Structure 1
Amino acid sequence: MSSVVRRGLPRVAGGAPWPPLDDDVVGVDAAPSRGVRAGHAAADVASTASRAEGPQDGGPSRAGTTPPALPEVAAMATEPTIAEAANPGVRRGLPRVAGGEPWPPASARPLAATPGESPGAATTAAHEPAPTPRSTAAAPPASAAPAASVPTRPPLRGRRTVFPTVSSERWSALRAERLGRERPTEVEAPRRTGLLLVGAVGLGIAAGMLVLLTRWLLSTPAGAAFLAAYPGEYPLPAAAPVGLPPWLGWQHFLNVFFLVLIVRSGLQVRHQKRPTAFWSSRRDPRHKISLTLWLHQALDVLWITNGVVFLVLLFATGQWMRIVPTSWDAIPNALSAAAQYVSLDWPTENGWLNYNALQQLAYFTIVFVAAPLAIVTGVRMSGVWPREAPRLNRAYPVEWARAVHYPVMLFFVAFTVVHVGLVLATGARRNLGHMYAAQDGDGWLGVALFAASIAVIAAGWLAARPLVIAPIARLFGNVGTR
């Protein structure tokens, strides 16, 4: 088979590299893919021919001339040596120094091709013309060898000094997971929006079906008899007071004001990562909490104080009989009132004299169930709870308090939304007059007081920031950025 010849040194001084460009060499059977040796192979042939011709002519050959190579010598030059047979990928040439071994050594191995580089790219330099040869005695040192005879090495790599640990890999995985949740991809965002729309439509259809079903049940003879027996409210005890006192309106406003700010600061504490300021007590400066947590706990104290005053006045004036069930008839009447609300045929209300059974049970749950749960769980998570009490902490784990505290907050929010919606939808002027102005009628005083209370709550919401809270917190402790 025919292959491209590797050109080496010239046959004569000042001549062109050998062999010429237009010559092809057909490989022998012993090495069908090998041509004339690269680089210095032609010089070996020339020296061998001169030694073989010298005894025939009776003397050495003339200086400066190179006799033609003999066919058998050229054939010997093209045959691989034992070392080359062991390393078929490396071609060996003349020694680097006079009297030395052929270069490269027999133990050399070919370098792997760079990814993306053609197999013949590493041998491109060997096909280019070589410079004018020098005598063997004046061979350059090893460091000055031609670049074409030295294989190209890959760049050196620096020593690795940083290694990933288990904690770093775990943190990276958690951070990637969190970023994946917080930043949905372009495919997930439309999918979530579509799910929300489908869910909203489904809830609307379900609500409409529930209204129709309830109206049908109440229109049946059994439903009509149930409404006649349990209209939605039952009579209060004879000693129950009539009307609502003025203190109840102030208590109602303060309760809403503190509750809104407590929910706001509680959500901030739950989602805050890097507090902007910290508060510490003067008795224990080392124990620090975020300024937002201090605001949350301070509002809790004010809300609890207002609740204690409310309970004292509630039982002192007999108003407790309006929100505490005094008969088992409260249960069926509450079911009747709920059915009437669902059917959109709302029951007739007269909050100045009596609440319906569903309102009574809701107020009782807020005052005597949800509020105590919020207080008990909040105290367990606050700094007031003793830290050096192993038995007490085992009996009341903080995990239980956290599992209850947040759902109780959601219950307060849901109750407020439903309560305000029903107050405005079932006679806003009369209901607001009862709650804020302590008047029975359709006057506008209750509406004005309600609007003023909303403005105060909004101002408190905007003022609940470190710039305003820090001066107040300094009155009770130390405030700093660390």
Structure 2
Amino acid sequence: MTETTTKASRVADWVRERRRLVGWTALISVIAVVVVVLVARWLRGTPGGADFIETYPGIVEPPAGTPVGIPAWLGWQHFLNSFFLLLIVRTGFQLRSKQRPPGFFTRDNTRWPRTKRAPRRLGIFLWFHLWLDALWVLNGVVYVVLLFATGQWLRIVPTDWAVVPNAISAALQYASLDWPTENSWVVYNSLQQLAYFAIVFIASPLAILTGLRLSSVWPPEGALVRAFPEKLARRVHYPTMIFFLAFVFVHVVLVLTTGAVRKLNQMYTARDTDDWLGFAVFAASVVVMAVAWVLAKPPLLKRIAAKGGTVRG
């Protein structure tokens, strides 16, 4: 058996294993969803469950001075976040597949600031992943600065412990398929607020920190290496990506099933209206992301990477 045949066999085995895993995951997920819905509906039907939802309807009144509405810059941030995350997740799965990269990039030290270490050779997918990470972080920094500069942080940062029981109430209402009444143009429900807070201030910093640890930026030896082992970073980085995927899935489902036309206008055109402009902008953004997905193939990536170094393979 030749080496090429052996590699092809390993890849085929990996694909079959992944398909089997996806199948079992889908089946278990469907069963889990059915069970959760039935339990939630039963709980809502009990006197205690009904009283709990009446006491905690799922929304905490925002603090005085909280801005109403979603500004235009937040719509742009939403698109850029989606765009970068889509490609980051794609390259992340490519890296986890353990397949040999179709090319390798080495930085040109005559065109970039010199360092004491020799340039590190990167697989083309890792090179693209790191650049996407850098752009996503830059976008995130701009977002956080604007968030606090405009007071929008009051919409996603909890300021009252009542957010906890109200979030549980909102979760119970969603799970029972009798969803809470809300107007996200004015205030997010407590579950949304906690989810957005977790994404912005917990999951994103974790993704950045662990990504830095796994990148060539992190020192190869010294106290930082001992303080934060690479193995630990890998164990945290991948589940963080799965958390992002789960959030995006639930977010998209809820947007499309709770008044999609109005929600898309709020998110993409900064208007609380029922016309179809927001849907058109959303559709255009999906086309842009689809085109980027198709174009982000090794031939184009190699040509772009070659502008900053040497690409072989």
TM-score if structure 1 supplies the norm length? 0.58
Residues 1:232 and 2:41 aligned together: no
State how far apart, in whole Å, the 2-side matches of 1:473 and 1:294 are.
Answer: 8
**Residue 86 of structure 2, aligned match among 250, 260, 264:** 260
Ranges in structure 2 where 5+ consecutive residues have no aligned partner:
1-5, 110-116
Residues 1:331 and 2:164 aligned together: yes
**Residue 106 of structure 2, aligned match among 259, 265, 280:** 280
**Residue 454 of structure 1, aligned match among 282, 286, 298:** 286
CA shift for structure 1 position 477: 2.0
Amino acid at match of 2:211: G
CA distance 1:278–1:183, change in 2 (3 Å): closer
Give runs of aligned pairs for residues 102-251 of structure 1, distance below 5 A: 182=14, 196=23, 200=27, 204-251=30-77
State how far apart, in whole Å, the 2-side matches of 1:339 and 1:403 are.
Answer: 31
| Post-superposition CA distance 1:192-228 (Å, at most 9, x none) | 69x957982x654553343233223222222221111
Amino acid at match of 1:303: W
RMSD, matched Cα: 2.6
State how far apart, in whole Å, the 2-side matches of 1:465 and 1:322 are.
Answer: 39
Task: Name the one with the larger helix percent.
Answer: 2
Give runs of aligned pairs for residues 311-460 of structure 1, distance below 5 A: 311-387=144-220, 389-460=221-292
Amino acid at match of 1:365: A
Q: Which moved more, 1:331-340 or 1:275-284?
A: 275-284
State how far apart, in whole Å, the 2-side matches of 1:203 and 1:312 are.
Answer: 38
Aligned to 1:469: 301
CA shift for structure 1 position 290: 1.1
State how far apart, in whole Å, the 2-side matches of 1:206 and 1:458 are.
Answer: 31
Amino acid at match of 2:123: S
Other structure's SS at 2:66 match: coil
Amino acid at match of 1:254: L
Q: Which has the larger radius of gyration?
A: 1
State how far apart, in whole Å, the 1-side matches of 2:301 and 2:24 are.
Answer: 41
Other structure's SS at 1:303 match: helix
| Post-superposition CA distance 1:79-130 (Å, at most 9, x none) | xxxxxxxxxxxxxxxxxxxxxxxxxxxxxxxxxxxxxxxxxxxxxxxxxxxx
Contact 2:37–2:176 (8 Å) recurs in 1: yes
Contact 2:185–2:266 (8 Å) recurs in 1: yes
| Post-superposition CA distance 1:241-297 (Å, at most 9, x none) | 011100000000000000000111111122143222111111277531111111000
Q: Percent identity?
A: 54
CA shift for structure 1 position 470: 2.0
Other structure's SS at 1:240 match: coil
Aligned to 1:67: none
CA shift for structure 1 position 183: 8.4
Other structure's SS at 2:182 match: coil
Contact 2:305–2:311 (8 Å) recurs in 1: yes
CA shift for structure 1 position 480: 2.2
CA shift for structure 1 position 391: 2.4
Amino acid at match of 2:199: I
Residues 1:301 and 2:127 aligned together: no
CA shift for structure 1 position 385: 0.9
Other structure's SS at 2:122 match: strand
Amino acid at match of 2:139: N
| Post-superposition CA distance 1:406-456 (Å, at most 9, x none) | 111111111111110110011100111110010102111110010000000
Amino acid at match of 1:340: Q
Aligned to 2:113: none
State how far apart, in whole Å, the 2-side matches of 1:425 and 1:251 are.
Answer: 23
Other structure's SS at 1:441 match: coil
Count of residues in Structure 1 that have an aligned counterpart in Structure 2: 299
State how far apart, in whole Å, the 2-side matches of 1:290 and 1:480 are.
Answer: 10
